[in-house]
Amino acid sequence: MKRWLFFVLKGLAGILACAAFMFLYWYGGSEQYRLTGVPVLNYHQVNDQYHTSLTMTTPDFDTQMKYLHDNGYHTITPAQLKAYLTEDAPLPDKPVMLTFDDGYIDNYVHAWPILKKYDMTATIFIITGLVDKPRYLSWDNIQKMSAAGISFGDHTVSHKPLSSLNTQQIQYEITASKTQLENHLGKTVDFIAYPEGSYDDRVESAVKAAGYTGGFTVNAGRVFHGDDVGALNRVAVFESGQSTFRHFYIRLMLSTLCGYLWKLHAFVAGTLHLQRYASAIPEP
C-alpha cells in the first residue's frame, strides 16, 4: 500500500514538473506578446577593435540579427511602443525593440550596416554632452541615421546616475538633453534610458513632467501593456562579455523567467541568513 502511494505521488510530481516547465516555456517563449510581453534588447557597443563588458563583436551581432530576421521577428519603433503602452494599439507579430545606450560611433560604423542588411530598425539613447566627442556619434551621424529610419532617445546630458542627484539637477539632465535632441532631429523624443539604470520616484515624476512617455531601466524582463511606463524592463545582451549565441537565445526566449531568477537571486543575496544560498540561484 505504502509503495503504491509512493508510486502515485512520484507520478503526480512528474506531471506537475512537466506542467510547470510547459507553463514557463509558454510564458517566456510564446509569440503572444499580449500574454508574454515585448522583449526590449539592450546593446551598447558593436566592434572588433577592443573588448569591454559592453562590447559585442560584429560577427556575434550579425548572427543575432540574422536569427531575429530568419525567425520572423519584427523590430518596432518607440512610436509603436508608445501606441501599444498608451492606447493598447496592436504590434506586429513577434515584436522586438532593439536599443543601444550611450551613442557610440560604432553604432553608425558597424551596427547600422548590419541592421540595414536585415531590414531592421533600432533606437539609440544619446548622452547629449558626448555628441561630437571622440568615439561617440556626431550630430551629422545622428541626422543621417534619423533620416533613414533609426530612432533616438535620451540618455541625459552627462550620464550621472539620476537617483543620486537633487530635483533641480535631475530636471536639467533630462530636459536640456531632450530639447537639444529634438532641435537636431526635428522630431519628438518620447523615451529616456536611465544612466546605469538608476531611478526612483522623483526621477519617474520628473520624467513624466518633462513630457516623456516612459523610461527604460536595466531591470531584467519584458514590457507589457499596463506596466509602470516610468520603469520599463529591458533584456541586457552585453553582460560580462558573454556574447555567445546561446546566451542571447536564452535571454531572448526566457527573458521573463530570467527576470524572475535575477530578482530572486538579488532578494536571497540581500537577505540575512539566506545569503549562502544565493549562489545556487542561476542568473541566466
Contact residues: Zn ion, CB under 5 A: 101-102, 195
- Closest approach, Cβ 159 to Zn ion, in A, equals 6
177: nearest Cα among 189, 167, 186: 189
Secondary-structure percent of the chain, ordered helix, strand, coil, rounded to 5: 50, 15, 30
**Is 201 buried (19+), middle (13-18) or exposed (0-12) by CB count in 10 A?**
exposed
Which uninterrupted H or E stretch holds 55? Answer: strand 55-56
The residue among 44 and 82 lying less far from Zn ion, judged by its C-beta, is: 44
Residue nearest to Zn ion (CB): 101
- Closest approach, Cβ 246 to Zn ion, in A, equals 26
The residue among 97 and 254 lying less far from Zn ion, judged by its C-beta, is: 97
b or e along 11-33 (b: 16 or more beta carbons within 10 Å of the residue's beta carbon)? Answer: eeeeeeeeeeeeeeeebbeeeeb
The residue among 28 and 78 lying less far from Zn ion, judged by its C-beta, is: 78
- Closest approach, Cβ 220 to Zn ion, in A, equals 16
3-state secondary structure 88-133: CCCCCCCEEEEEEEECEHHHHHHHHHHHHHCCCCCEEEECHHHCCC
The residue among 159 and 225 lying less far from Zn ion, judged by its C-beta, is: 159
The residue among 30 and 219 lying less far from Zn ion, judged by its C-beta, is: 219
64 three-state secondary structure = helix
The residue among 24 and 54 lying less far from Zn ion, judged by its C-beta, is: 54
Q: Are 93 and 41 in contact (CB under 8 A)?
A: no
- Closest approach, Cβ 156 to Zn ion, in A, equals 9
- Closest approach, Cβ 234 to Zn ion, in A, equals 12
- Closest approach, Cβ 233 to Zn ion, in A, equals 16
Phi-psi sector, 12: left (phi>0), alpha (psi -120 to 50), beta: alpha
- Alpha-carbon Rg for the chain, nearest whole angstrom, is 21
Give the bridge partners for 74, in sequence order.
95
- Closest approach, Cβ 101 to Zn ion, in A, equals 4
Q: Are 86 and 213 in contact (CB under 8 A)?
A: yes
Which uninterrupted H or E stretch holds 283? Answer: none
The residue among 153 and 195 lying less far from Zn ion, judged by its C-beta, is: 195
- Closest approach, Cβ 81 to Zn ion, in A, equals 19
The residue among 101 and 154 lying less far from Zn ion, judged by its C-beta, is: 101
